[in-house]
Amino acid sequence: MKNWKPKTRKSLRARLSPSGALALAWRWPLIARVEQRTPRADWTTWLYLGGRGAGKTRSGAEWVHARVAAGFARRIALVAATAADARDVMVEGESGLLKTARPWARPLFEPSKHKLTWPNGATAMLYSAEEPDALRGPEHDTAWCDELAKWNYAQGAWDNLQLGLRLGERPQQMVTTTPRAMALLKTILARSDTVVSRGTTYDNRENLPPAFFDEVIRRYEGTRFGRQEILAEILEDVPGALWTRAMLDAAFVPAEPPRAMARVVVGIDPSGTRGHDERDAVGIVVAGKGMDGSAYILADWTCSLSPAGWANRAVDAFRRFGADRIVVEQNFGGAMVESTIRAADAYVPIKNVNASRGKIARAEPIAALYEQGRVKHAGSFPELEDQLIAFTRDGYVGQRSPDRADAAIWALTELMLAQTGEEGWLEYAREQLELRKKEEDKPPTPGWTKAEMIRKGLWRW
């Protein structure tokens, strides 16, 4: 064909034979979009902000391969939100290091050692942001940080990584993430040695299933959530929000929370539907009141499970954190919600609360506690924080039900605003006596062993 010039990358691929397309896949500079190519300027941090499915992982993997091939990368740090993410996405994922490697330069992965080794001797170690101290000590010349906005203890992990990025003549790091308005991300953006690339989900449309756009993307187009997750915009605080990012950043506790808690509760916000997708989640948040008088968000165990599934998860949280009681909203289901939890553990103490006031009226006094610095977050809870900042004085502006936020508000209300102390313990004791009496009134079931009767309190010595 004379004077033929490909107009798009897609047409170029379509005209190639299968073997030619495979060879082209190994020539990343030919198929990469402009924002996916390594910047030419002198930089220390390359920040690639991209929407869901924009090709961030492929860009990070190809950058690491290029650094290894050029001899610039000898000791590499691969940091993800969790150890599983580092393995499943950065290494073994569809766009990870193993599947994007050239056959002659494919690294050897040793899962037990969390280590990759290239034929030229370069090595990469996998790290989890959940364990910031693991980055204290090791030295690197190259680092790839994936989904920074999801990291727990992000500041601690980032600081330790920076102190170890000191090998070679020009150590560099790449950050691939969908953005959130977090303090650390803003700090990285403001640095003079940072270069920024941006990509949207639409930019990578030819490599994504059509159903993904028809069923998922269209659902969030034009929404605030979509602007962040699809267009990769860093959204600032909602006007009139009860919580601000600054308040939530100030609430973050970089160290471990106090081990001794005066009281711990599990807040539950039941779903009003029977669905099992993410929109029908049951909010389960654990909070404690420290000896210093401050409240601490300890864990977010929100899930989308069957009634038996979420009840067992709530009871597991109760036991794991040594909680005093479960606080559950009874507007959805009433006695049925309590009976679902009782089926998982008949003796767990439960306090039913009624949503007699609107969400904003319940949220305002809790937001005031944050503003006073009396509520802390023992870790990073991005989904919970995104719901909190969607509360405004005029209403809730989030796209999904604030299940996590409602559960946290119920728990914090019980700890900081409801009556506690001796009266609460008397109420708990009365509940236990009533449960024991019900068991005693039941006729013994034939076949019970002595041990079972002792466990149920029915054996008379």
Q: Which CATH superfamily is domain 24-229 in?
A: P-loop containing nucleotide triphosphate hydrolases (3.40.50.300)
Q: How many helices (H) and strands (E) does the chain have?
A: 18, 16
Mean pLDDT score, 285-301: 93
Mean pLDDT score, 89-115: 95
Which pair of tokens denotes residue 130? 């959940």
| pLDDT, tens digit, 9 for 90 and up, residues 350-392 | 998 887 678 888 888 899 899 889 999 988 788 898 889 888 8
For residue 79, which of 67, 71, 87 has the smallest C-alpha distance? 87
Mean pLDDT score, 162-175: 95
| pLDDT, tens digit, 9 for 90 and up, residues 400-419 | 788 999 999 999 999 998 75
- Between 138 and 433, where is the model more confident? 138
Domain ranges in the chain?
A: 24-229, 245-420, 424-455
Residue 394 pLDDT exceeds 90: no
Which pair of tokens denotes residue 217? 């993307």
Residue 8 pLDDT exceeds 50: no
* Fold classification of 245-420 (topology level): Nucleotidyltransferase; domain 5 (3.30.420)
| pLDDT, tens digit, 9 for 90 and up, residues 318-358 | 999 999 999 998 765 556 888 899 899 888 999 988 876 78
- Between 285 and 25, where is the model more confident? 285
Residue 460 pLDDT exceeds 50: no
Strand boundaries in 280-437, DSSP class E:
283-290, 295-300, 325-329, 350-353, 375-377, 391-392, 395-396
Pairing state between β 75-80 and 142-146: parallel
Predicted confidence band at 431 (pLDDT cuts at 50, 70, 90)? low
Mean pLDDT score, 242-267: 85
| pLDDT, tens digit, 9 for 90 and up, residues 145-156 | 999 988 988 889
Q: So what's the pLDDT on residue 411?
A: 95
Predicted confidence band at 16 (pLDDT cuts at 50, 70, 90)? very low
Residue 235 pLDDT exceeds 80: no
- Between 438 and 130, where is the model more confident? 130
d(CA 317, CA 333): 21
Q: Out of 111-125, 206-220, 244-258, give the one with best mean pLDDT.
A: 111-125
Predicted confidence band at 257 (pLDDT cuts at 50, 70, 90)? confident
Compute the mean pLDDT over every residue in the chain, rounded to the nearest whole number: 83
Predicted confidence band at 450 (pLDDT cuts at 50, 70, 90)? low
d(CA 303, CA 226): 22
Q: Are 415 and 287 in contact (CB under 8 A)?
A: yes
String of DSSP letters for 13-80:
HHTS-HHHHHHHHT-HHHHS-GGGSPP-S--SEEEEEE-TTSSHHHHHHHHHHHHHHHT--SEEEEEE
Range in 225-239, 282-296, 383-397 the model is least confident about: 225-239
Q: Give percent of the chain above pLDDT 70.
A: 79
Q: So what's the pLDDT on residue 3?
A: 39
d(CA 227, CA 123): 37
Q: Give percent of the chain above pLDDT 90.
A: 48
String of DSSP letters for 187-249:
HHHH-TTEEEEEE-GGGGGGGS-HHIIIIIIHHHTTSHHHHHHTS-----PPTTBSS-HHHHH
pTM of the model: 0.61
